[in-house]
Amino acid sequence: MGVTIAIDCMGGDHGPAVTVPATLSFLRTHADASAILVGRAEAIQPLLGDAAAEFGARLRLHPASEVVAMDDPPAIAMRNKKDSSMRVAIDLVKAGDAAAAVSAGNTGALMAISRFVLKTLPGIDRPAIATVLPSMKGHTYVLDLGANVDCSAEHLLQFGVMGAMLVAAIEHTERPSVGLLNIGEEVIKGNDVVKEAGELLRNSGLNFYGNVEGNDIYEGTVDVVVCDGFVGNVALKTSEGLAQMIGAFLKQEFKRSPLTRLMAIFALPVLKRFKQRVDHRLYNGAPLLGLRGVVLKSHGSADAVAFGNALSRAAEAASNRLIERISERMASMNEVKA
C-alpha cells in the first residue's frame, strides 16, 4: 500500500476546478497512491464524474465547511477557521490518516497552521520553505523562501540539514552538496551571520561545498543553496520577473512583422521544447520543512499540471521517509555536540 495524500481542495486561485482534476490524474499515474479530497462536498462532488468507480477506496472525500481566504491573516485563519479545508487536511496528517498534505492556499496561514498542528521536529527552531529550480545540470533546491527574515547562523545550519535530507529523499542523491549563498569574492564576504553559518556547516558532517553566489543556483554548482527567507524570496521573485521579461521580449520580436511571424512558425517546435524545459509548472510544490509531517505548498495560481507536480513531489517525499531522515540527521548532529 502506497502513500495517502490529503488535498486542500479549496485553496488557490482556482479551488476545486484545478485541485480535483489534478488529483484524479495523479491517482491514474500513481497506481499505489491514495487521495483524500478535503473541502466542501457540494463544490467537489460535481467534479468527480465516475471517479468513485474508477478509484474505489483510493479516493475519499473528507468534508470541511470553511475556506481560508488568500488574504486571511495567519492568526485569524488558525483561530477562527478550525474546520477549514487547509486545517482539516493537516489534521489528517497529524492523525496519521494521510502521509502528506498539499495546499495552494495562503502561505502564511499554511505555515502557521502546520506549525501549530504538527509541531517542529526536535532540534529545529523554525520551519523553512524550500523550492526546486531548474539548473544547467538538473535541479537546485533553495531554502528558505518562507518567513524567516532574520536568521541566526544556527537557523541556516538547520536549513542546510533539511535541504540535504529533502534532496536525498526526492532525488535519491546519496550525499547532496550544500552551498551557502553569499556575495562576490571581490567585496567583503558576507555579514557575520553568514560567516558563522559557514563555520557551522563546515563542521556539520554534511557535504558542504562552501560559499556560492546567485548565479550558482542556475549553474547547478550544488544540490542545495541555503539562505535566509528574505534573500531567498528576492532571488526567486527576481528570477520570475526576469523569465517573464525574456519571454515577453522573445514574443514581441517574433510578432514584429509578417516576416518574423513566419519565422516564428518555423521555429515553433524548437521554441515549444525550450518552453517545456523552463516551464515553471514543473517546479511547483514547495515543501514546508522541519515539521513532524510532510506539507507542500502549491503556487496559488497553479493549473492542474502544476498542482499535479506538487502532488507527485509530496508522494515522493512521504514515501522516501523525509521526516525520518531530517530527525535522524538532527539527532546524530546533537549526539556529536553532546
Calculate the CA 227 to chain-centre distance. 16
Report the residue from 13, 218, 282, 305 that binds a second copy according to the rule CB under 8 A: 218
Q: x/- site string to a second copy, residues 78 to 107, per CB under 8 A?
A: ----------------------------xx
Residue with cell 468513485: 52
**Between 52 and 246, whose beta carbon lies closer to a second copy?**
246
Strand ranges across the sheet with 4-8: 59-63, 34-39, 4-8, 100-103, 294-297, 286-289, 128-135, 138-143, 224-226, 177-181, 207-212
Rule CB under 8 A: is residue 222 a binding residue for a second copy? no
Residue 244 is a binding residue for a second copy (CB under 8 A): yes
By CB under 8 A, residue 227 contacts a second copy:
yes
Please tell me whether residue 123 binds a second copy under the rule CB under 8 A.
no
When the beta carbons of 153 and 183 are compared against a second copy, the nearer one is 183
First to last CA, the chain: 39
Q: Is residue 138 a contact point for a second copy (CB under 8 A)?
A: no
Cα–Cα distance for residue pair 296/183, rounded to 1 Å: 30
- For a second copy, the closer of residues 34 and 135 by Cβ is 135
Stretch binding a second copy (CB under 8 A), from 23-31, 76-84, 246-254, 328-336: 246-254
DSSP state of 152: -
Residues 6+ apart with CB under 8 A from 12: 18, 19, 103, 104, 105, 298, 299, 300, 301, 302, 307
Binding letters toward a second copy, positions 260-279, x by CB under 8 A: x--xx-xx-xxx-xx--xx-
Nearest residue to 228 via CA among 291, 182, 187, 184: 182
Position 153 contacts a second copy (CB under 8 A): no
Measured from the Cβ of residue 289, the count of other Cβ atoms closer than 10 Å reads: 29
- What one-letter code names the amino acid at 266? F
Nearest to a second copy of 80, 244 (CB atom): 244
Contact residues: a second copy, CB under 8 A: 70, 106-108, 111, 134-136, 146-147, 149-150, 181, 183-184, 186-188, 190-192, 213-219, 227, 229-231, 233-246, 248-250, 253-254, 256, 260, 263-264, 266-267, 269-271, 273-274, 277-278
